[in-house]
Amino acid sequence: MPDYRAIEEKIQQALGASRRPVAIAFLEEPPAGMEKFEGSEPSSCSYWRLAAAGRAFYTVAADHGNCPVGAYTHNTLTPERMPELEQTLGLMSGIGYLRMEEIPGVFHLERAPQIVAYAPLGDMPVAPDAVLASGKPGRVMLLAEAATRSGAMSGLPLLGRPTCMAIPAALANGAVTSSGCIGNRVYTDIADDQLYVVLRGADLERVAAEIDTICAANDTLTQYHQQRRRTLSTV
C-alpha cells in the first residue's frame, strides 16, 4: 500500500494548510479495527470536519440522512426522505439560491455505498477512493497544477454548490476544485478564504510525485515574473 502519511505531508506542504487532508472510502464492509461513528451530524460534509481534526471512523448509509442534498449526492436518499429533499430544494429555489433546472447537473454516486469510512489521509487503513483538502486559492493552484502535470486533473471548471458533489465528480472525472457552498462552510468551519481540491484515490501517488516539481517551478517563475514586472512596468 502507498505511504499515505508521506503523501499527506506533501499535500499539506503544498497547501500550507493546518487541516489534515481527509481520505474517504466507499466500502461494502467496515474496515478492520476502525470504530463506527456514534452520534449524529447534520450533513455528510460534517464528517470531513471530524476527520480533518484527526478522527478515523466509518459511517453507514443512515448516518447521511440528515442532509437531503448530501444524501442525494451520496445516493443514500430513501423514498421516505424524498419529501425533505423536495422541501429543501423548494426553499433554495424560492429564495433565489438556485434554479430547479440546475439539479440534473449535480453529480452523485452511481452506487449507494454500504459503508463510508473517513480518516486523515495518513491514518486511513484502506485505500481511499477520494481525498479532499482545503487551502487558499494560490495554494490550491499548486495542487491542481500537480494533478494536471500528472494527467489526473479533470476538465471540469471550478465547481460550486453543493460542495459534496465534488466527490462523485472527482471519482468520475479526475481531480476537481470547488468553491464550496454556504452549508458546507457552516458545517465544516472552513474559512471564507479557502477552496477545496478533491483527488481520486487511484491518482494520489502520481499527483504527489509532481508536487515538488510544481512547487519549485512556481518559485522560479515568481522570481521571473517579479523581474519582468520591475523591468517592464512604467508609470
| Global pTM value | 0.93
Q: Which of 157, 215, 220 is nearest to 16 (CA)?
A: 215
Question: Grid coordinates representing 46?
Answer: 460534517
Share of the chain above pLDDT 90, in %: 83
User: What is d(CA 121, CA 195) in angstroms, rounded to the nearest whole number?
Assistant: 18
pLDDT at 44: 95
Number of domains in the chain: 1
**Domain that includes residue 20, residue range:** 4-232
Residues sharing a CB contact under 8 Å with residue 221, sequence separation 6 or more, in sequence order: none
Contact 117, 25 (CB under 8 A): yes
Residues sharing a CB contact under 8 Å with residue 120, sequence separation 6 or more, in sequence order: 8, 20, 21, 22, 23, 51, 52, 54, 56
Question: Grid coordinates representing 3?
Answer: 505511504
119: three-class secondary structure by DSSP: strand
pLDDT at 187: 96
Peptide bond just before 162 cis, omega within 30 deg: yes
Annotate 47-66 with DSSP letters as a single string. HHHHHHTT--EEEEGGGG-S
User: What is d(CA 108, CA 84) in angstroms, rounded to the nearest whole number?
Assistant: 17
User: Judging by beta carbons within 10 Å of its beta carbon (0-12, 13-18, 19+), is residue 185 exposed, middle or buried?
Assistant: middle
Backbone angles phi, psi at 111, to 5 degrees: -120, 140
Q: What is the mean pLDDT of residues 59-73?
A: 92
Digit-coded pLDDT (tens) for 17-33: 889 999 999 999 999 99
Gap between the terminal Cα atoms of the chain = 57
pLDDT at 18: 84
What is the signed CA dihedral for 8, 13, 18, 21, rounded to 10 degrees?
-30
Contact 66, 42 (CB under 8 A): yes
User: What is d(CA 79, CA 19) in angstroms, rounded to the nearest whole number?
Assistant: 36
User: What is d(CA 119, CA 24) in angstroms, rounded to the nearest whole number?
Assistant: 7
Digit-coded pLDDT (tens) for 148-203: 999 999 999 999 999 999 999 999 999 999 999 999 999 999 999 999 999 999 99
Q: What is the mean pLDDT of the chain?
A: 95
User: What is d(CA 106, CA 161) in angstroms, rounded to the nearest whole number?
Assistant: 8
Question: Grid coordinates representing 133?
Answer: 483538502
